[in-house]
Amino acid sequence: MSFIKHSRSEYIETITISRPDKLNALSPELLQELTDVFRSLLEQPERPRCAILTGEGKAFVAGADIAAMANLLPAEARRFAELGHRLGSMFEEAPFPIIAAVNGFALGGGCELALACDFIFAADSAKFGQPEVKLGVIPGFGGTQRLARRVGVAKARELVFTGEVIAAAEALRLGLVNAVFPGAELMAQSEATAKKICAMGPLAVAAAKRVLLRGEDQSLPAANELEATAFSALFSSEDQREGMKAFIEKRSATFKGS
């Protein structure tokens, strides 16, 4: 049984988690399939220039599959957590941006998946939270770390310790999400932003993503060195020559990713 739907429109890959009868809860099988689908995108000669991750039905992902987790032994729980961590790292390391289009509940593992994306757009009805402490555990797919980096340590502590679920408007105020739209407009707005990204130089976007990720935990001088190295390396690309030539000639650039 397949839990993942995906399709390509020009340079945009849309990935939909499809287990609506379980609010797209993350079972080990679903996580493995999502990992396999995403790995296949990275291995394609023609990779997307942007991806959109969303959920089918009322939820983005309402959390991990509790029934599947309830009787795990510690070693099995560790393997489950590692599967989620590998997927989050793949999202972060991908050479193209990933937009989380959060259409409903993004709780527990669902919030963690969204946090691993480059940024988050939310429907006005969306809900976010890390309620794992209510189950006697903690976030296991990187939530404690990425949430703190997104909203600050103090607020992350409050959200994780209390298990509070917050509305999209509050998530926007905290900086957890980038924008909130009426539900009917969420995908159109996500696709419009993805198209803007796809019109940019793909090598430049990939370099910017890499430097932002690598520089986050570096000192400012070290991070600036990463930036200078990436900036100068792009001057060996055809895209750089095309982009600057197009600017001088007052026309739109046609980037090839080379």
- 155 and 208 part of one domain: no
Question: Alpha helices of 70-167 — where are they, by DSSP H?
Answer: 74-93, 109-116, 143-151, 153-162
CATH number of residue 135's parent domain: 3.90.226.10
pLDDT in the model for residue 177: 98
Q: Is residue 254 part of a domain?
A: no
pLDDT at 67 (0 to 100): 87
Q: Give a yes or no: residue 257 inside a domain.
A: no
Strands 165-167 and 127-129: antiparallel
pLDDT at position 245 is 96
Element (H, E) at 185: none
76 and 55 assigned to the same domain: yes
- CATH code for position 244: 1.10.12.10
Domain of residue 53, residue span: 4-198
pLDDT in tens, 11-66: 999 999 999 999 999 999 999 999 999 999 999 889 999 999 999 999 999 998 88
Q: How many domains does the chain have?
A: 2
How does pLDDT run across 200-241, given as a tens digit for each residue? 999 999 999 999 999 998 999 999 999 999 999 999 999 999
Q: Could you tell me if 20 and 114 lie in one domain?
A: yes
Average pLDDT, the chain: 96
Claim to verify: residue 66 and residue 120 sit in the same structural domain: yes
Report the C-alpha gap between 252 and 256 in whole angstroms.
13
Those residues with Cβ within 8 angstroms of residue 190's Cβ, 6 or more apart along the chain or in another chain: 52, 54, 99, 101, 121
Residues 138-145 have a mean pLDDT of: 96
Rounded to whole angstroms, how far apart are CA atoms 19 and 17? 6
Task: Tell me the catalytic residues.
Answer: 112, 132
Pair 193, 210 in one domain:
no
User: What is the model's pTM?
Assistant: 0.95
